[in-house]
Structures are given as structure tokens and as C-alpha cells.
């Protein structure tokens, strides 16, 4: 697909400061999806809108740029979009879509402070990605629905469901939440669970810009500095990968996966002849192991 049909920027924006960010006790009486922005949060969103407009208008190659918004259905994200929208004239906005799959991680219903504190301590021991909140979701659950959203996003682009004129430069702005933004990047750049565990949430109204490079691949390193990427929790290897993507092509991306294979396969075994016969379990050995397992199971039954 020609590069000109791809969005110039895919920008992730976390909502502004909310009442829950300011005072966690708000979650004990107000449903998470109804938590609103503070006055400071609204001011943050207006400033973010100005920065987004300046970023898109100055970093683009076309004066005919347009934006398309995706927004989480929560009150704080919708309010953030309303404030951001004050920086864009109607002719610049080609569409807005409320998207439930990029909503906040579900922590359960009303959140009792002391119980939530203990639960989060348990999450640190268990692992942030796989720990599922009682009556809620794990980060892995959020990953699944964000992955589904990403597939729909690509179909929207491929089929031009966004109704974008190819002569105009398209920019996608996704207004969501901290965890949803992290798993979006994890899915996009194929980061591992271990790499995800190192990442930090973006701040309120913090902007993370994926920009299209000359090779047709997106990178965080075009707009953001090494220092910013380190502050987000990216390792030196992840930062180098972002720089490499600026000029990488599809074939290069496939070849890079070979380095990931090294974590699981012995690189000394270059051919079938290198696989020693002694390392292969024989049929007789397999039967012996199977008999031992069957005997253990019989003992347990007794």
C-alpha cells in the first residue's frame, strides 16, 4: 500500500487529571466510567490540543492535513476530547469514533480503598501483566481487546472507511487511558511481557507520537528523544529498535525476529546433523516415562 495512504502520525493521548487521580476515594462512591476531569485536567487537555495542532501542522509535509479521533467512552476521556477539540477547526476534523475497546482496565465495580491497596500489593508480587483484579480485568485481558481494536483500525485504513482524501495528510489521535496506551504500543511493536513490565504509565494528557518514517514503518524515536523513551521505561535495546525502524523495511523486520528466536533455540544447532542422537528421546524411553506417570496416577487414585 502506498505510504501516502497511511496516517502520518498515530498519536496516543492519556486523559487529563481526573477526580480519581486527585483523590482515589472518589472510586468508592462514583463508578469508574463516570469519574470526571478536574479543572486542572481540563486546562491540561486544552494545552494538549494546542500542542497537537502545532505538532501536526509543523511536522507534516502537507498543508491539507486532517485528523480523525478515537476516544474511550469514559467521561474523563470524552471531556478531554472536548477540550482538545477547541484547537481544531471543523474543516480539519474528518471524524470521531467512540471506541469501547480502548476503555480503562476494569478494576471491579466500586473500589474500597483499603481492599484496593492490598490487591495492588498482591499484583506486584504476581506480575502486573497477568494479574486479574477480582471482578475485573488483567492487563492481558486489556491487551486482547486492544488487539481487536488494532485489527479494526487497519481495516479502516485499508478500506478508507475514514473517508480520507489521499491528497490530504491523515493523522489519527487516540484518547484513552494509561494502561490501554501501554498495551497498544506493546501490541504494535511486538514487545514481550517482560518488556511491558518495565513500562510506566504516561502522565495526564501526555502525548506519545508514532510517526511514519521514510521506509513505511512507524517509530517513537522520530518525535521523541532517547531521554523521553528511557523515562517511559524502554530499555536500550527497545530504543535502538525504535531508531532502527525509521529506515527499516518489511524484510528487515522479519529478519530481526531471528534475534528473538535465540531466547528459545540453541544456535549451535545449524542443521539436522547437529542435533545429537542422544538428545532425542527414543520410543523406548518415552514408553518408560509414560509407564512411570501412569503408575504415579494410580497411586494418587488409591
Binding residues: 14-21, 76
Work out the mean pLDDT of the chain and round it to a whole number.
87
% of the chain beyond a pLDDT of 90:
64
Q: Where residue 165 falls among pLDDT bands split at 50, 70, 90?
A: confident
In this prediction, residues 163-169 reach a mean pLDDT of: 81
pLDDT tens digits, one per residue of 58-107: 876 678 899 999 999 999 999 999 999 999 999 999 999 999 999 999 99
C-beta separation of 134 from 112 below 8 A: no
Q: Is 114 a catalytic residue?
A: no
DSSP string, the chain: --GGGS-SEEEEEE---BHHHH-GGGGGTS-GGGPPBPHHHHHHHHHHHHHHHHHHHHH-S-TT-EEEEEE-SSHHHHHHHHHHGGGS-GGGEEEEEE-GGGSPPP--SS--HHHHHHHHHHHHHH-TTT---TTS--HHHHHHHHHHHHHHHHHHHHTTTT---TTS-EEEEEEE-HHHHHHHHHHHHT--HHHHHT--PPPTT-EEEEEE-TTS-EESTTTS-HHHHHHHT--HHHHHHHHHHTT--HHHHHHHHHHHHTTTS-TT--SGGGS-GGGSPPHHHHHHHHHHHHHHHHHHH-
Asked whether residue 196 carries a pLDDT value surpassing 70, the answer given is yes
Residue from 104, 169, 211, 217 carrying the catalytic annotation: 104
pLDDT of residue 2: 42
pLDDT of residue 101: 98
Q: Where residue 207 falls among pLDDT bands split at 50, 70, 90?
A: very high
Q: Is 104 a catalytic residue?
A: yes
Binding residues for substrate: 14-21, 76
pLDDT of residue 268: 67
Query: What are the grid coordinates assigned to 253, written together?
Result: 523486520
pLDDT of residue 233: 97
Query: In terms of pLDDT, which residue wins out, 241 or 293?
Result: 241
Q: Where residue 116 falls among pLDDT bands split at 50, 70, 90?
A: confident
Bridging pattern class, strands 66-71 and 170-176? parallel
- Rounded to whole angstroms, what are the CA distances from 199 to 202, 217, 274, 292? 9, 22, 39, 45
pLDDT of residue 167: 81
pLDDT of residue 248: 80
pLDDT of residue 159: 83
In this prediction, residues 18-33 reach a mean pLDDT of: 94
Asked whether residue 1 carries a pLDDT value surpassing 50, the answer given is no
Asked whether residue 17 carries a pLDDT value surpassing 70, the answer given is yes
Residue from 15, 75, 137, 224 carrying the catalytic annotation: 15
Query: What are the grid coordinates assigned to 128, written together?
Result: 502486573
Residues 6+ apart with CB under 8 A from 81: 45, 69, 71, 96, 175
Amino acid at each position: 500500500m502506498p505510504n501516502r495512504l497511511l496516517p502520518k502520525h498515530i498519536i496516543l493521548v492519556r486523559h487529563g487529571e481526573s477526580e480519581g487521580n486527585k483523590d482515589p476515594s472518589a472510586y468508592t462512591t462514583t463508578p469508574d466510567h463516570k469519574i470526571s476531569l478536574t479543572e486542572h485536567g481540563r486546562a491540561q487537555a486544552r494545552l494538549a490540543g494546542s500542542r497537537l495542532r502545532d505538532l501536526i501542522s509543523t511536522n507534516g509535509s502537507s498543508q491539507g492535513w486532517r485528523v480523525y479521533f478515537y476516544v474511550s467512552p469514559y467521561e474523563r476521556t470524552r471531556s478531554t476530547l472536548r477540550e482538545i477539540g477547541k484547537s481544531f477547526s471543523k474543516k480539519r476534523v474528518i471524524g470521531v469514533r467512540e471506541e469501547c475497546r480502548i476503555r480503562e482496565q476494569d478494576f471491579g465495580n466500586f473500589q474500597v480503598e483499603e481492599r484496593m491497596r492490598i490487591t495492588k500489593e498482591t499484583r506486584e508480587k504476581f506480575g502486573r501483566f497477568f494479574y486479574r483484579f477480582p471482578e475485573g480485568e488483567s492487563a492481558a485481558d486489556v491487551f486482547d481487546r486492544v488487539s481487536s481494536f488494532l485489527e479494526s483500525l487497519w481495516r479502516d485504513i485499508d478500506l478508507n472507511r475514514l473517508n480520507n482524501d489521499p491528497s490530504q495528510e491523515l493523522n489519527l489521535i487516540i484518547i484513552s487511558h494509561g494502561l490501554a496506551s501501554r498495551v497498544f504500543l506493546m501490541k504494535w511493536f511486538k514487545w514481550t511481557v517482560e518488556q511491558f513490565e518495565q513500562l510506566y504509565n504516561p502522565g495526564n494528557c501526555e502525548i506519545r507520537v508514532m510517526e511514519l518514517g521514510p521506509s513505511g514503518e512507524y517509530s517513537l524515536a522520530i518525535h521523541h528523544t532517547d531521554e523521553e523513551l528511557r523515562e517511559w521505561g524502554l530499555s536500550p535495546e527497545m530504543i535502538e529498535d525504535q531508531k532502527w525502524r525509521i529506515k527499516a523495511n518489511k524484510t528487515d523486520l522479519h529478519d530481526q525476529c531471528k534475534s528473538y528466536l535465540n531466547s528459545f533455540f540453541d544456535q549451535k544447532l545449524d542443521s539436522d546433523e547437529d542435533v545429537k542422537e542422544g538428545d532425542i528421546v527414543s520410543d523406548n524411553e518415552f514408553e518408560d516415562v509414560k509407564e512411570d506417570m501412569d503408575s504415579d496416577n494410580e497411586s494418587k487414585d488409591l
